[in-house]
Structure 1
Amino acid sequence: MKPTRIRAALVSAALATVLTAVGGGTAQARQSWDEAAVPAAASGGTPTTGRNSCLSTDGTDLNALLTVREQIIGPPACRVAVARKPWVRSFPSWGTAADAASAVYPADYVPSVPKPQDDFILKFLGVRIVQDIGTPHERSFTFGPEVLQLVVPFEGLPFATFASPALPGLKSGTHTTTVFMRLSSEHCDGLGTDREENCLPAGEFPYTGDTPFEVVKRHA
């Protein structure tokens, strides 16, 4: 799987910028998880009466990778769930420098532990997932560090991947899901010295935008 990572350029509370990590960790290509169109009912990643299979852009089966049986909602190709069936929210992975020796930070930042990925894991408190934010049907679900599933190596860098516990099924129609992350203190990834690009703030902050997805009736 080619992991995605999110930079902490928190220009507004409604949108966080997602980047694809390529070329040894240099963020080159922007991916819009948040604004991608909801896929048509026949597109890849659409649930059927068989086994759920959410495929990343390189063909990796995220259900198998994350050991998730329910339909995954998150990547642009995985934006359709079956009405009244539980679903799981996945969201962009977070990558860091490989080790303390290669890490670079803003001038006044000192990690709590030497290895950047361990620093992130130590400070990661969990997430709040908001369904249909800003509508009369808004509902929040708060989870702890258990949403951090595993660390996946890619081009020499470690990436933390995420998946929520199963969330309650929804009525058919268009919905949104928004992820807010919580850290005990500021974390910087060790990949650069720009605080807006390379660091996540303490407390709760928006980690994704309002990601749209479609809930459809089960096929006969």
Structure 2
Amino acid sequence: MKRARFLAAAAVVVPSLLVAVLGSAAAAAPLPDPKPPVPHCITPFDGDLNELYGVKDRIIGPVPCRETYAKAKWVRIAPGWGTAPSGAKAVYPAGYTPQRPDPIDDFNSKFVSATYVHDLGTPREQRFTYKKSRVLRTGLLGPDGVPYSIAISPPFKALDLGTHTTLVLFTLTAQHCDGLGTVEEENCLPAGTFEYTSNAPFDVIPKPTG
């Protein structure tokens, strides 16, 4: 399976608070937030994924984003799947024929669902399966001109304090190849249900009080 990519760029704006002091209006520093916001998922190369995808909850996904707060909902993002820009520019392994002319449309048409497995192989294991309409976002374009789709889960309930794991499975109706190369192991996804990500560890930590 080929290397997947996360893409992002963002900015955060904090408004000022105006208060009256000694009978006149004057600017004052913002009051401390008693409930610190959930930290955004910001990667060294890809930027702010919360801003890019409009996710308000903590993201668990790429390596820098492996912590969430106790009693806080969280979202699992799987790496995006990118393809050749068009069928005219696509190259495929020998014997493969796409069902749609453009590779990204081929992937989207074959995508059925994503399954999220938390704490695999433990007494607290949980599985959640969501159809394409609930998780798949498409129409996205990377800075290199590569179109991609990405699976973003609905928010999950908070987990207990400590270390957990999360695994993402995809289900496709048929084999799909991205059109970016001719090596089946790197450029194609199999039919059926398969592990799309590794079983990634993450930590649930106490929420800061300051």
Other-structure match for 1:113: 100
SS at 1:64 equivalent = helix
Matches within 5 A, 1:112-191: 112-145=99-132, 146-150=134-138, 151-191=140-180
Conservation of the 8 A alpha-carbon contact between 1:129 and 1:142: yes
Deviation at 1:59, TM superposition (A): 5.3
For residues 93 and 216 of structure 1, do their structure 2 counterparts lie closer, same or farther at Cα, with a shift above 3 Å needed? same
Superposed CA offset, 1:52-93 (max 9, x none): 311122252111111111100011111001112110001111
- For the residue of structure 2 that corresponds to 1:69, the secondary structure is coil
Structural mapping, 1:7-18, within 5 Å: 7=2, 18=3
**Structure 2: tracts of 5 or more residues without a match:** 7-34
How far 1:108 moved relative to its partner? 1.0
Kept in 2, the 8 Å contact 1:152–1:161? The answer is no
Query: Mapping of 1:1-220 within 5 angstroms?
Result: 7=2, 18=3, 49-58=36-45, 60-145=47-132, 146-150=134-138, 151-220=140-209
Which structure 1 segments of 5+ residues have no match?
A: 1-5, 8-17, 22-47
Scaled by the length of structure 1, what TM-score is found? 0.77
Query: Structure 1's 100 and 120: CA in aligned 2 closer, same or farther, altered over 3 A?
Result: same
**Contact 1:123/1:184 (8 A) holds in 2:** yes
* Matched AA of 2:136: L
Q: Partners of 2:189 and 2:81 in 1: how far apart?
A: 10
Identity %: 44
Where 1:101 maps in the other structure, the secondary structure is helix
- 8 Å CA contact 1:133–1:139 kept in 2: the answer is yes
Number of paired residues?
Answer: 179
The Cα of 1:19 is off from its aligned counterpart by 5.0
Q: Would the alpha carbon gap of residues 88 and 100 (structure 1) be closer, same or farther in structure 2, given more than 3 Å must change? A: same
| CA shift for structure 1 position 193 | 1.3
- Which of the pair has more CA radius of gyration? 2
CA RMSD, aligned part only? 1.7
Aligned equivalents of 1:206, 1:219: Cα separation in 2: 34
Aligned to 2:89, what secondary structure does the other structure show? coil
Shift of 1:156: 1.8
More relative contact order, 1 or 2 (CA 8 Å, 6+ apart): 1
Cα distance in 2 for partners of 1:176, 1:200 equals 23
Contact 1:95 1:189 in 2 (8 A): yes
SS of the aligned residue for 2:47 comes to coil
4+ runs deviating over 6 angstroms:
none
Q: Please tell me the residue identity of whatever aligns with 1:218.
A: K
For each residue in 1:93-122, what CA deviation from the matched residue of structure 2 results, as whole angstroms up to 9, or x when unmatched? 111111011101112111111000010011
Q: Which residue identity is paired with 1:178?
A: L
